[in-house]
A and B are shown apart, each in its own frame.
Chain A
Amino acid sequence: MSYVENLQRDYGDFKIEIPSWEILDQGVTVLMGPSGSGKTSVFRILLGLEPCPGMKWNVNGTDLAKLKTPQRRLGVVFQTLDLFPHLTASENILFAARARNVDEDKARKRLKELSSELHMDSFLERSASVLSGGEKQRVAIARAIMGEPRLLLLDEPFSALDQELRGESRKLVKRVIETEKIPTLLVTHDPQDVEVLANKVSHIRNGRLT
Chain B
Amino acid sequence: MSLRNGLRLALVLFLLFPFLFLVTQFGVSEVPDAGELLWAFKNSLWQASFSAVFSLMFGFWAALGLLSFQNSGRVKWRSILDILCLLPNFLPPLFILLSVLSVIEPFPMGIAGIVIVHTVMNFGLVAVLLAGIIENKLGGMIELAYVEGATRWQFLSKGLFPALQKDLLLLGLFIFVICFGSFAVPLIVGGGKGTTIEVLIYEKIRLSSNWGGAVLLALLQSVFIFTLSFVVSQGRTASRAKRTQMNLLKSPSGVFVVAAISFVYLYGYFEGVISGLAMTSTFYELQSTLIWNFVGSVVLGLTVGLLCYISLLWIAYCWPKQWFEKFLSGYVAPSTSLACFSLLILGPNEGFYPFIKIPFALVLLNLNALVRMGWSGELQALQSQMTVAYAMGASPAQIFKTILFPQLSERAGILAGIAAIWACGDFAVSRILAHHDLSIAMMTETLMSGYRLNQAMVLSTLIIVAGILCFVLCVGGSRVLRRKFTA
Contacts and interface: CB of A to CB of B under 8 A. Distances in A.
B394 interface: yes
A24 to B, nearest CB: 21
B389 interface: yes
Interface string B316-331: 0000000000000000
Contact of A100 (B392, B403, B407, B486): B392
A21 interface: no
Given A98-B398, A99-B398, A82 B385 contact: yes
A95 B384 contact: no
Contacts of A75: 392
B391 interface: yes
**Binding site secondary structure of chain B:** helix
B391 A95 contact: no
A78 B386 CA distance: 12
Nearest to B386: A82
A82 B388 CA distance: 7
B403 A69 contact: no
A86 interface: yes
B393 A99 contact: yes
A89 to B, nearest CB: 15
Contacts of A144: 392
B384 A86 contact: no
B392 A76 contact: yes
Interface string B372-396: 0000000000001101111111110
Interface string A78-116: 101010111100000001101110000000000000000
Interface string A9-36: 0000000000000000000000000000
A49 B393 CA distance: 13
A22 B449 CA distance: 78
B406 interface: yes
A49 B387 contact: yes
A76 B388 contact: yes
Contacts of A99: 389, 392-395, 398
B179 to A, nearest CB: 38
Interface string B458-487: 000000000000000000000000000010
A66 interface: no
A80 B384 contact: yes
B402 interface: yes
Contacts of B402: 84, 87, 95, 98
Nearest to B394: A99
Contacts, number: 56
Contacts of B406: 86
A87 B387 CA distance: 17
A194 interface: no
Contact of A84 (B387, B391, B403): B403
B387 A147 contact: no
B411 to A, nearest CB: 12
Contacts of B403: 84
Contacts of A80: 384
Nearest to A97: B392
A78 B391 CA distance: 11
A70 B394 contact: yes
A67 to B, nearest CB: 11
A73 B393 contact: yes
A69 B388 CA distance: 10
Contacts of A78: 384, 387-388
A74 interface: yes
A47 interface: yes
B392 A96 contact: yes
B302 to A, nearest CB: 27
Interface of B: 384-385, 387-395, 398, 402-403, 406-407, 486
15 contacts: A47-B391, A48-B391, A69-B391, A70-B392, A70-B393, A76-B388, A76-B391, A78-B384, A82-B384, A82-B388, A85-B407, A86-B406, A95-B392, A98-B398, A98-B402
Which 8 pairs across A and B sit closest by C-beta, in order of nearness?
Answer: A99-B394, A70-B393, A99-B392, A82-B388, A99-B393, A76-B391, A82-B384, A96-B392
